[in-house]
């Protein structure tokens, strides 16, 4: 009969004497738990024992009457036929089996989730690297193509005002800033245009196109303010913020398609997302980057860089008093940005000796002049 008795490695100790544990073998008979140790054998009636599991996951039997504990890491005990003949131990063993299975499922689920997350994290890193590489190495011609498409798709937005003589001032300032750009950033042909709308703002599109609303020109009081805005827009262009936004907005599939397409394919994929360029805004970080880089452009062009902060002040006041269509509020003038520009000024080693820009003629064309000009331009009906 004894061949049927399975025995298990384990040890025994008494309450408060855990450091004097005795190692031996545990086995179950019809009515007893038998512990065999080199110095002798104990037998405890199964009826008196309770079964549980400790924090290490080992099975423990306790006999309250004698204060003995028996511990084993061998989970086969939970299926021992003699142990299972005792009702209370059978119930406790079943509970433990269920608890262990639950823990195991949870562990597998966690391992699976961690693997899954790791897989996606690596994928995400790869996509990010690919997007960055693409944004860094795309030829300027792609950006120009993209911008042409954006302009063609939004004829109601891009109504270029060719009557306003103030385009000269804008163009001169852009040329002055462009000439002072660091050599590595001189790959763009900047072109400025005016849009006749009462919006105190400007925006840039990839490839070097800069659009200034006449509302901005009506409001600026110093050419330095206008120069500040233009330098900020030029920084958006040189840092390829538009292209980056487009690639980021398209997601991994979009980037993947860019990579597997030939050049013509890439252009059509990029252009498909062009809507993003007119409808979305840059993040605060991107705006701050454009502020800082624009600041350096102004310094390089020997223009007093405080104009941008002044412009923000102006814009805040303007937006508070007028209703501006949501899509044109691309540069929310937050006090935070003004503060960060002010910090740049405080840290600046150079605070004087800037070029004296020609004063701006703020006045837009009088309505009479305007009507006259228009009548020359548009065919009589």
Stretch that binds Zn ion, among 66-74, 79-87, 133-141, 323-331 (CB under 5 A): 323-331
Residue 12 and residue 24 in contact, taking contact as beta carbons nearer than 8 Å: yes
**CB of 311 vs Zn ion, minimal distance in Å:** 11
CA–CA gap between residue 319 and residue 332 (Å, rounded): 9
CB 282, min distance to Zn ion, A: 6
User: What is the phi/psi pair of residue 188, to 5°?
Assistant: -105, 145
- If the CB atoms of residues 275 and 280 are measured against Zn ion, the closer one turns out to be 280
* E-assigned strand segments in 109-261: 191-195, 202-205, 209-213
How far apart CA 230 and CA 232 sit, in angstroms, is 5
128 close to 120: Cβ distance less than 8 angstroms: no
Tell me how far, at minimum, the Cβ of 140 lies from Zn ion, in Å.
Answer: 20
Candidate segments 162-170, 268-276, 287-295, 373-381, binder of Zn ion by CB under 5 A: 287-295
Spell 184-211 as b/e; 16+ CB within 10 A means b.
eeeebebebbbbbbebbbbbbbbbbbbb
Stretch that binds Zn ion, among 3-11, 24-32, 284-292, 359-367 (CB under 5 A): 284-292
Cβ-based nearer residue to Zn ion, 171 or 239: 239
The tokens describing 361, both together, are 């003629």
Distance (Å, rounded) from C-alpha 377 to C-alpha 371?
A: 10
What minimum distance in Å lies between the beta carbon of 236 and Zn ion? 5
Q: Which residue's CB is nearer to Zn ion, number 33 or number 308?
A: 308
**What's the rounded Cα separation, in Å, for the pair 151 and 154?**
5
Segment 54 to 83, residues that bind Zn ion, using CB under 5 A: none
Nearer to Zn ion, 284 or 351 (CB): 284
Which of these is catalytic: 233, 326, 336, 349? 233
Stretch that binds Zn ion, among 100-108, 223-231, 246-254, 282-290 (CB under 5 A): 282-290
d(CA 106, CA 125): 28
Taking residue 312's Cβ as centre, other Cβ atoms within 10 Å add up to: 23
Interface pattern 329-368 for Zn ion (x via CB under 5 A) = --x-------------------------------------
* Contact region with Zn ion (CB under 5 A), list: 64-72, 193-201, 242-250, 289-297: 289-297
Site stretch for Zn ion (CB under 5 A), options 28-36, 55-63, 154-162, 324-332: 324-332
Query: 263: part of which helix (H) or strand (E)?
Result: helix 263-272
Q: Return the number of the residue (230 or 303) whose C-beta is nearest Zn ion.
A: 230
- Is 233 considered catalytic here? yes
* Per-residue binding letters, 228-267, with Zn ion (x by CB under 5 A): ----------------------------------------
Q: Across the chain, where does the E strand assignment appear?
A: 7-14, 22-28, 32-37, 40-45, 49-53, 59-63, 68-72, 191-195, 202-205, 209-213
Tell me the C-alpha distance between 263 and 261, whole Å.
Answer: 6
Task: Confirm if 227 and 257 have CB atoms less than 8 A apart.
Answer: no
Q: Match 């450091």 to its residue by tokens.
A: 19
Q: Would you say 290 or 293 has its CB closer to Zn ion?
A: 290
HSE toward the beta carbon, residue 125, CA cutoff 13 A:
5
Min separation Cβ 360 and Zn ion, Å: 21
Question: Among residues 145 and 232, whose Cβ is nearest to Zn ion?
Answer: 232
CB of 364 to Zn ion, least distance (A): 24
Total site size for Zn ion, rule CB under 5 A: 3
How do beta strands 68-72 and 191-195 pair?
Answer: unpaired
* Least Å from the CB of residue 205 to Zn ion: 12
| Shortest distance (Å) from residue 189 CB to Zn ion | 20
Residues 6+ apart with CB under 8 A from 69: 12, 13, 14, 15, 60, 61, 62, 63
**CB-wise, 287 or 304, nearer to Zn ion?**
287
Residues with catalytic function? 233
Residues that bind Zn ion (CB under 5 A): 287, 290, 331
């Amino acid at each position: 009969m004894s061949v049927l008795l399975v025995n298990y490695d384990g040890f025994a100790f008494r309450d408060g004497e855990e450091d004097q544990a005795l190692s031996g073998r545990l086995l179950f008979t019809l009515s007893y738990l038998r512990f065999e140790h080199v110095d002798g054998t104990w037998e405890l009636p199964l009826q008196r024992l309770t079964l549980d599991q400790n924090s290490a996951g080992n099975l423990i039997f306790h006999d309250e009457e004698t204060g003995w504990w028996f511990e084993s890491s061998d989970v086969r005990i939970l299926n021992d036929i003699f142990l299972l003949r005792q009702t209370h131990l059978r119930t406790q063993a079943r509970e433990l089996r269920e608890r262990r299975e639950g823990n195991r499922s949870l562990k597998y689920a966690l391992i699976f989730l961690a693997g899954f997350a790791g897989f996606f994290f690596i994928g995400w890193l790869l996509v990010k690297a690919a997007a960055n590489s693409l944004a860094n190495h795309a030829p300027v011609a792609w950006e120009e193509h993209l911008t042409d498409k954006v302009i063609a798709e939004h004829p109601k937005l891009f109504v270029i005002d060719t009557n306003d003589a103030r385009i000269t001032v804008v163009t001169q300032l852009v040329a002055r800033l462009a000439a002072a750009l660091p050599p590595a950033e001189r790959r763009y042909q900047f072109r400025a245009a005016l849009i006749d709308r009462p919006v105190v703002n400007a925006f840039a599109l990839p490839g070097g196109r800069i659009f200034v609303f006449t509302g901005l020109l009506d409001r600026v009081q110093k050419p330095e303010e206008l120069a500040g805005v233009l330098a900020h827009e030029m920084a958006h262009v040189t840092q390829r913020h538009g292209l980056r936004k487009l690639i980021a907005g398209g997601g991994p599939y979009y980037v993947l398609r860019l990579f597997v397409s030939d050049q013509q394919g890439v252009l059509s994929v990029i252009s498909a997302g062009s809507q993003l360029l007119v409808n979305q805004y840059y993040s605060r970080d991107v705006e701050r980057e454009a502020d800082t880089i624009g600041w350096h452009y102004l310094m390089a062009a020997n223009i007093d860089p405080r104009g941008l902060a002044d412009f923000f002040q102006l814009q805040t006041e303007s937006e508070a008093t007028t209703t501006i269509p949501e899509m044109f509020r691309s540069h929310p003038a937050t006090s935070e940005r003004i503060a960060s520009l002010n910090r740049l000024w405080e840290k600046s080693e150079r605070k004087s000796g800037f070029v004296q820009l020609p004063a701006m003629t703020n006045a837009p064309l009088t309505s009479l002049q305007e009507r006259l000009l228009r009548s020359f331009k548009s065919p009589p009906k």
